[in-house]
């Protein structure tokens, strides 16, 4: 693998990681809004893809 290919691969890996982090942050923001509106846990899980534990942690931070 050439140096240029390694740089490109690292760039793509970083970009992918950033996109995943952004999606997670968006899901957490949505979950917080839904918690504030007293939406049921199963609905929050379905709409955000977060686990019950993750949502409970967010709820405890509020």
Domain boundaries, the chain: 24-62
The CA distances from residue 52 to 1, 27, 62, in Å, are 43, 13, 16
In the prediction, which pLDDT does 42 show? 98
Task: Retrieve residue 43's tokens.
Answer: 């609905």
What integer pLDDT is reported at residue 54 of this predicted model?
A: 97
Flag whether pLDDT at 62 surpasses 90.
Answer: no
Q: What is the pLDDT of residues 2-60, one digit of tens each?
A: 878 877 787 777 888 898 999 999 999 999 999 999 999 999 999 999 999 999 999 99
pLDDT score at 14: 84
For residue 37, what is the DSSP state? T
To the question of pTM greater than 0.85 for the whole model, the response is no
């Amino acid at each position: 693998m050439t140096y240029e290919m390694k740089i490109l691969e690292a760039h793509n890996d970083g970009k992918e990681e950033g996109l995943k982090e952004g999606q997670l942050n968006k899901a957490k923001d949505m979950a917080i809004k839904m918690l504030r509106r007293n939406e049921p846990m199963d609905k929050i899980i379905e709409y955000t893809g977060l686990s019950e534990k993750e949502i409970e942690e967010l709820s405890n931070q509020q």
